[in-house]
Amino acid sequence: MANKSKKFLEAQSKVNPEQTYAVDEAIKLVKEVAFAKFDETVDLAFNLGVDPRHADQMIRGAIALPAGTGKSVRVCVITSGENIKKAEDAGADFVGGDDMVQKIAGGWLEFDRVIASPDMMGKLGRIGRVLGPRGLMPNPKLGTVTPNVAQAVEEQKAGKVEYRTEKNGVIHVPIGKKSFTEEQLRQNFNAITSAIVKAKPASAKGTYLKTLTVSTTMGPGIKLDTLAAINSTN
């Protein structure tokens, strides 16, 4: 942020950069210093002691947040047969089979998540180059390739978030909106932090959770006490 606004500097002045905050204190503060007029997303940034260049140290997964994300998610389902109606009944925004594959191949991308039934995976190869770079390619490990498309749609609509380590070992994941109560943010914080702590690979050496920072879309970062954060989820 090259040219910091007056409002940002005012918010930043309320955060001690030399201090690591307890979880409850940080959640309360992140709501206090949020200054944008829109409902900012509250984001966690985990800096992990892993090397994602090694497959066994790549942390990736998905979790349904207890309090949801506060965001409306457009779900596209690629399936066939009776699963089409099941997906529609579960609340999917777009449902189809070969026609949907063809539509996406033509450049249509007005959705946030893609769910596919296993029988359609062979047909997704032609749109892998479209979906892959955008992080939209269905994946069994993330629960987006499943015979139970209805359940997958319900989970996505309820607030399921995906997370994965970037090349520098950082994971960014949203835990809600600034309009959430402190208790809602705390519930989501506990869920995602617990999942990432449990995902520590056996091959990771040294400190696993190096730093943990919470911030809103426009607000300053607030560093958390990592040991207290881990203990608070137990």
pLDDT digits (tens, 9 = 90+) for 96-110: 999 999 999 999 999
Q: Which two tokens stand for residue 88?
A: 């529609």
- Asked if 99 and 81 touch (Cβ cutoff 8 Å), the reply is no
Domain boundary among 123, 158, 193: 158
The CATH number linked to 32 is 3.30.190.20
The CATH number linked to 107 is 3.40.50.790
* Pair 165, 219 in one domain: yes
* Pair 96, 146 in one domain: yes
Asked if residue 7 belongs to a domain, the reply is no
What's the rounded Cα separation, in Å, for the pair 217 and 220? 9
Domain tally, the chain: 2
Domain hosting 221: range is: 17-69+160-232
| Residue 37: CB atoms within 10 Å | 6
What's the rounded Cα separation, in Å, for the pair 161 and 187? 14
pTM over 0.85: no
* Pair 38, 144 in one domain: no
Task: Name every residue whose Cβ is closer than 8 Å to that of residue 167 and which is 6 or more positions away in sequence.
Answer: 52, 53
Chain position carrying tokens 């946030």: 112
Chain position carrying tokens 């990736």: 60
Domain boundary among 102, 127, 158: 158
Radius of gyration of the chain (CA): 19
* Pair 28, 53 in one domain: yes
* Pair 141, 164 in one domain: no
pLDDT single digits (tens) 147-203: 999 999 999 998 899 899 998 899 999 999 999 999 999 999 999 999 999 999 998
